[in-house]
Homo-oligomer: A and B are copies of this chain.
Amino acid sequence: MSRVTYRAIQQEVLARIRRKTWQPGALIPTEAALAAEFGCARATINRALRELAETGIIERRRKAGTRVSATPVRKATLEIPVTRLEVEARGATYRHKVLERREIPAPAHLIARMNLAANARLLHLKTLHLADAHPFLFEDRFINPLTATGIKDAPLESISANEWLVRNIPISGGDITFLAEPATPEDAAALDVATGCALFIINRLTWAGIEAVTQVRLAYPPGYAMTTKI
């Protein structure tokens, strides 16, 4: 075991910020100075501070140095699990039901958002996910068969599109939006709730490079909450 760990340095830095030894907005010593003070290598200081910078507690810029964030932008990490695992983590039995599966011409609003050719066709899926036979999530998904190669032959009755895509199509990135919406009549029927009641909605658009793979709207019934820690 070495004498000084990067975690110990992080703790000490946080303690000094908490004690106001280092005020918000103020510069803290350079890596070299801290390495000398703590009697460790600069690389150790670097790792400690780099990770703190990733959480938004401090801000670092070459030449300008490192300073305590004046108005820290807290960053929370959300885990986005496969729905089956999320249900099973709650101790329930997972099942899903494909309500609709059709190939259609891409709707106009998706041609722009997904950067598709004007005559592109998409696979349109509607799926109800169940936890112990109770509606857990109503999913309305469009899949680009050109990027999600093999989706047409996927056994989507036994593996959800969600999970099939995650396992088979390497995704480079995506945009996620969280919001609240009133239940449409279709949402209400699928989830067995009243039309107009407040649903938690996730919209997600995912990419493989510059090509869109899938756009999905997830509607969760009242009572669902997404939780995380900072």
Contacts and interface: CB of A to CB of B under 8 A. Distances in A.
A197 B206 CA distance: 30
A119 interface: no
Interface in A16-30: 17-18, 24
* Copy total for this chain: 2
Contact of A73 (B18, B81, B228): B81
A227 B206 CA distance: 13
B85 A80 contact: no
Contacts of A182: 197-198
Contacts of A76: 77-78, 80, 176
Contacts of A225: 177-179
A183 to B, nearest CB: 8
Given A72-B166, A197-B182, A227 B77 contact: no
A201 B175 contact: no
A173 interface: yes
A152 interface: no
A167 B174 CA distance: 33
Contact of A227 (B177, B196, B197): B177
Contacts of A198: 180-182, 197-199
A2 interface: no
B74 A80 contact: yes
A224 B73 contact: no
Contacts of A18: 170
Q: Which 10 A-B pairs have the closest CB atoms?
A: A180-B180, A198-B198, A18-B170, A179-B225, A180-B200, A180-B198, A74-B80, A178-B226, A76-B78, A182-B198
